[in-house]
Structures are given as structure tokens and as C-alpha cells.
Structure 1
Amino acid sequence: MTGTVGFLLKVLLLSAGVSLLIKYGGPHLAIPPTVGVSLALILTPSLIVAAVLIVQAQRRSA
């Protein structure tokens, strides 16, 4: 149980870190305000978390 809680805490902290990086670091980047860029910035954290969870699930089943 503590392994699961620890993993979820790591995912939560990583997601919060990426969110803070986007919030405070984003205005300093010269990125054009297009739909594609905004979609990439919104979906990237979720895709990273999904990839980590998939890898973890595959490791547990093997």
C-alpha cells in the first residue's frame, strides 16, 4: 500500500512541478499563441503521466 501511495505522491508532485513550470516559465518563452501550441501544453502533462502509468502496469504484470 505504501508503494502505491508513494508512487501517486511522486506523480502528483511531478504534475504540480510541470504545471508551475508552464505557469511561471511560459511567459518568458517566445512561443506563438496558436491552437497547436496550446493543445500541446495542455496535453503533455497528461500524456507523460499516462505513459508512466502504462510502464508501471507493464512492469507489474511481467
Structure 2
Amino acid sequence: MSGELLTFGGQVLVHDNRGELEYLLPGARVVPYDGDLPTLPIRDHPSMASVQWPLRREDFR
């Protein structure tokens, strides 16, 4: 594990549901973030545009 935060465009990717984040990013270490860097909700990441929220796992089969 690198210990680096996942970022997009200089913003730390965040999500309010740990279980959903662990499902979307298997193998990634999910940790709380309370730092000073700007954040971007993962739902606003361009590659997540087609994902319905709250996450429906059946959409990923």
C-alpha cells in the first residue's frame, strides 16, 4: 500500500459511505479524511457519471 490519497484534479476523492467506497475500489485502503486539501465527492468524478446513487450493486453484474 502506498499510503497516498486518491485524487482527481488535485482534489481528494471522498464518499460518505465506507461500504460503497470499498465496493467501488476493491483492494484500496479506505480511511477517514479530515485534511485541508480540497475534496471531490466520488459521485462527481467523471468516470462515475453513469453510476446511480445510492449505489445499487446489482448494476455492476
Task: Give the TM-score, by structure 1 length.
Answer: 0.21
Larger Rg: 1
TM-score where L is the length of structure 2 = 0.21
Higher helix share: 1
Which structure has more strand as a fraction of its residues? Answer: 2
> Does 1 or 2 have the higher relative contact order (CA < 8 Å, sep 6+)?
1
